[in-house]
Structure 1
Amino acid sequence: MSTFASSPRFLRGVLWADAASCLATGTLQLSAIDALPRLFGLPQTLLLDSGIFLVAYALMAAWAATREVPPRGWVALFAIGNVAWAIGCAAVVALLQPTALGIAWIAAQAVAVLVLADLQWMGLRRGAATPRTALG
């Protein structure tokens, strides 16, 4: 694993997984925007705004995944953003009291982004990205 984790292919794969999961989540939230607020017990504006954000984030992660060697600054930003998303998920559950299905939806996102953040940090630690520059 250490050899694979130190290759740009590893980090590109993680970025593609991040992009795909965000695109799927965001697209679902946007396409079912009338039903999900009732099912999840969450405000429609929260689901709409986060859905739009997720699709935009997916496009940025996909762009980074297309680079021969992913930009180190961008990967670090994605990892930090994923940890922040997980913290935000915990805050949403605590503050908004979603339904059981809503809690499951939020928990799945939190777990997924924490795994992705860990893999992104692993790739950075093992040197699978371009040298440090200002986000590039």
Structure 2
Amino acid sequence: MSTTTFFASPRFLSRVMWADAASCAASGALQLLFTESLARLTGLPAALLGGTGVFLLGYAALAAWMASRATPPRGLIGLVVFGNLGWALGCIALLACGAFPVSAWGVAWVLAQAACVVVLAELQWTGLRRTRSGRAVTA
């Protein structure tokens, strides 16, 4: 299977959304199960970690729902692309503002989330472009 065919596969968007759901579920669960430990380790406020953990679990459920559709909801996935880019910008802004005494582990945690969502946004955007009108494009 060529790279073009891989990205144009009708299942590509679903697979990317499953990856998005899994990464958000894992991050959200970690942030909720180990809120206090992560707060001490990262220097991030426990309330921020807990609140974003709840959000990530809710988003993971929505992403899993999108992934499970026979035809992924392209309009919603388009919003997800912008949401993922917004999350990455929020991560950078969080570090840049200097409002919290973020440790090196905290910087790594936040930058890992930013990098993950940028990669997911790019894959989602690629899938949307390559599967215009719900049909695979083989060009």
TM-score by length of 1: 0.91
- Structure 1 gaps of 5+ residues are 132-136
- Post-superposition offset of 1:8: 2.2
Mapped partners of 1:128, 1:64: distance in 2: 17
Which of residues 118, 124, 134 in structure 2 aligns to 1:114? 118
Shift in CA distance, 70/128, structure 1 to aligned 2, threshold 3 Å: farther
Amino acid of the structure 2 residue aligned with 1:121: W
Find the residue that maps to 2:36 and give its secondary structure.
Answer: coil
Aligned to 2:13: 11
Aligned to 2:92: 90
Q: Sequence identity of aligned pairs in percent?
A: 53
Find the residue that maps to 2:125 and give its secondary structure.
Answer: helix
Mapped partners of 1:18, 1:128: distance in 2: 21
Q: Decide which moves more: 31-40 or 50-59.
A: 31-40
Aligned to 1:55: 57
Aligned to 1:41: 43
- Post-superposition offset of 1:4: 2.0
- Structure 2 gaps of 5+ residues are none
After the TM superposition, which parts of structure 1 deviate over 6 Å for at least 4 consecutive aligned residues?
Answer: none
